[in-house]
């Protein structure tokens, strides 16, 4: 009886000193806690992981968890651990479950599925990217057309500035072509970067239309600016004439007038 009592006290003493540590497994099972020494000394098993049409052979210690397996698979598949679902014998396993505790042995088969919610998010992101790419391509096509129209506006401006009168139809045609591009830009459904690019092109087209309106006005009245210059010159000459007369010049008035108009001419 004393020996039994002594043995019992030894066990209790070991537990108190922490030489035996326990942990609670999923399902309520109390088992001895694993440590790194246990894992490194455990036998290594090869697990056959099936992921759609792909197959992966994963070697790892038998006492590893399914969470450990997910971390290795993340490197192999690109799927984050939280995006993975692991099934063994038709049942999904939690990250904390140990492989050897549920019957996983060497050459056992595990099925990897992508989490449906994660898959849906990726699909939505892919659709958004495709929509963005399409919108950017549509804006780029219009930008190319606006480049051509811009060159025509610059050429037309050079002619008008040179003093050559241009047919009114030239302005109407270019304006209408620019408005067509403006309507096409408005029809593009764009977000993010595509929306920014569309806004830039809209402002560019509007600027070209305003430019054409000013050129059209100048083309209709090519001498508008020179007429103003003539008016200023005439006013200056009359001021000079009045100053001469006011000074009571000995020259006859007719001679003064003739000289002033000669200078003006």
Evaluate whether residue 226 is within a structural domain: no
The partner residues of 30 in beta bridges, in order of sequence, read 24
CATH number at residue 98: 3.10.20.90
For residue 248, being part of any structural domain is answered with no
Could you give the CA distance from residue 28 to residue 76 in angstroms, rounded to a whole number?
Answer: 32
Q: What does the pLDDT look like over 87-122, one tens digit per residue?
A: 999 899 999 999 999 999 999 999 999 888 888 888
Q: Encode pLDDT of 30-48 as tens digits.
A: 555 555 445 456 689 999 9
Of 188, 207, 206, nearest in space to 197 by CA: 188
Residue 254 in domain:
no
Domain containing 32: what range?
Answer: 26-116
Residues 143 and 175 in one domain: yes
- Which of 183, 249, 185, 179 minimizes the C-alpha distance to 213? 179
| Residue 139, pLDDT above cutoff 90 | yes
Are 178 and 147 part of one and the same domain? yes
Within-domain flag for 47: yes
Number of structural domains the chain divides into: 2
Task: Tell me the pTM.
Answer: 0.49
Q: Per-residue pLDDT tens for 226-235?
A: 444 444 444 5
Distance between CA 190 and CA 188 in Å, rounded?
6
Q: Which helix (H) or strand (E) holds 201?
A: helix 193-220
């Amino acid at each position: 009886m004393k020996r039994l009592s002594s043995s019992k006290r030894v066990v209790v003493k070991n537990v108190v000193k922490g030489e035996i540590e326990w942990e609670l497994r999923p399902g309520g099972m109390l088992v001895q806690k694993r440590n790194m020494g246990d894992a490194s000394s455990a036998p290594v098993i090869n697990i056959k992981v099936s992921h759609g049409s792909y197959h992966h052979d994963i070697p790892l210690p038998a006492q590893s968890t399914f969470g450990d397996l997910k971390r290795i698979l993340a490197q192999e598949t690109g799927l984050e651990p939280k995006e993975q679902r692991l099934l063994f014998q038709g049942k999904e396993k939690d990250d904390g479950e140990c492989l050897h505790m549920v019957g996983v042995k060497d050459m056992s088969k595990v099925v990897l599925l992508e989490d449906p919610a994660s898959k849906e998010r990726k699909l939505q992101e892919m659709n958004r990217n495709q929509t963005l790419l399409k919108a950017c391509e549509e804006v780029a096509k219009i930008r190319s057309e606006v480049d051509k129209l811009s060159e025509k506006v610059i050429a037309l401006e050079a002619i008008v500035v040179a003093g050559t009168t241009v047919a009114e139809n030239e302005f109407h045609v270019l304006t209408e072509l620019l408005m067509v591009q403006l309507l096409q830009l408005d029809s593009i459904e764009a977000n993010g970067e595509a929306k920014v690019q569309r806004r830039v092109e809209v402002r560019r087209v509007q600027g070209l239309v305003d430019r054409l309106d000013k050129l059209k006005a100048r083309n209709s009245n090519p001498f508008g600016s020179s007429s103003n210059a003539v008016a200023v010159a005439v006013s200056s000459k009359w001021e000079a004439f009045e100053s001469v007369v006011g000074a009571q010049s000995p020259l006859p008035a007719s001679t003064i007038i003739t000289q002033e108009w000669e200078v003006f001419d």
